[in-house]
Amino acid sequence: MLTVLTPLKPALYSCLRIIAGLLFSLHGIQKLFGVFGQPAPVNLLSQFGLAGIIETVAGLGIALGVYASPLALLASGQMAVAYFQAHLPRGPWPITNGGELAVLYCWLFLYIAASGSGRWSLR
């Protein structure tokens, strides 16, 4: 199986980066514009507003491969803060405190920060 997938690693990595970036940007768009189930836009000068800006800009940059490493590092840090601020107080396990997505994005973006933009990128 590995021999079949090994030649596809660069393309699969780029797909992972693009999909993760686009999905992450939707969280920011949700906060900033009050769409996708968000009842109203958040205040831009609040912590949620800053989170929305980071998620939108970093997500799109990661998806496009433009400054993917520094933006992914910023997004990873944001997800670590989100986990420790919002989820950990609800309990120690991500599966019970609702923090699985924050943990997954945190580690995924840390990997992207270390790996760079990959094959399909604008930069």
Q: What is the mean pLDDT of residues 38-49?
A: 95
Q: What span, in angstroms and rounded, lies between the C-alpha atoms of 103 and 106? A: 5
Question: Across the chain, what does the average pLDDT equal?
Answer: 97
Q: What is the CA radius of gyration of the chain?
A: 15
Residue 1 has pLDDT above 80, yes or no: no
**Looking at the domain assignment, is residue 3 inside a domain?**
no
Domain count, the chain: 1
Residue 26 included in any domain: yes
Single pTM value for the model: 0.94
Query: Can you tell me the distance from the alpha carbon of 64 to that of 83, in angstroms, rounded to the nearest whole number?
Result: 26
* Buried-state track 48-71, b at ≥16 Cβ within 10 A, e below 16: ebebbebbbbbbbbbbbbebbbeb
Inside any domain, residue 95: yes
Amino acid 41: pLDDT: 95
In the predicted structure, residue 10 carries a pLDDT above the cut 80: yes
Residue 122 lies in a domain: no
Once rounded to an integer, what is the mean pLDDT over residues 90-110?
98
- 3-class DSSP assignment, residue 102: helix
- Asked whether residue 1 is assigned to any structural domain, the reply reads no
Answer for the pair 28, 59: CB distance below 8 angstroms, yes or no: yes
Decide if pLDDT at 6 tops 90.
Answer: yes
Q: Is 121 inside any structural domain? A: no
Percent of the chain with pLDDT over 90: 97
- Contacts of residue 18, defined as CB under 8 A and 6 or more positions apart, other chains included, come to 63, 65, 120
- Is residue 90's pLDDT more than 90? yes
Give the structural domain span for 85. Answer: 10-115
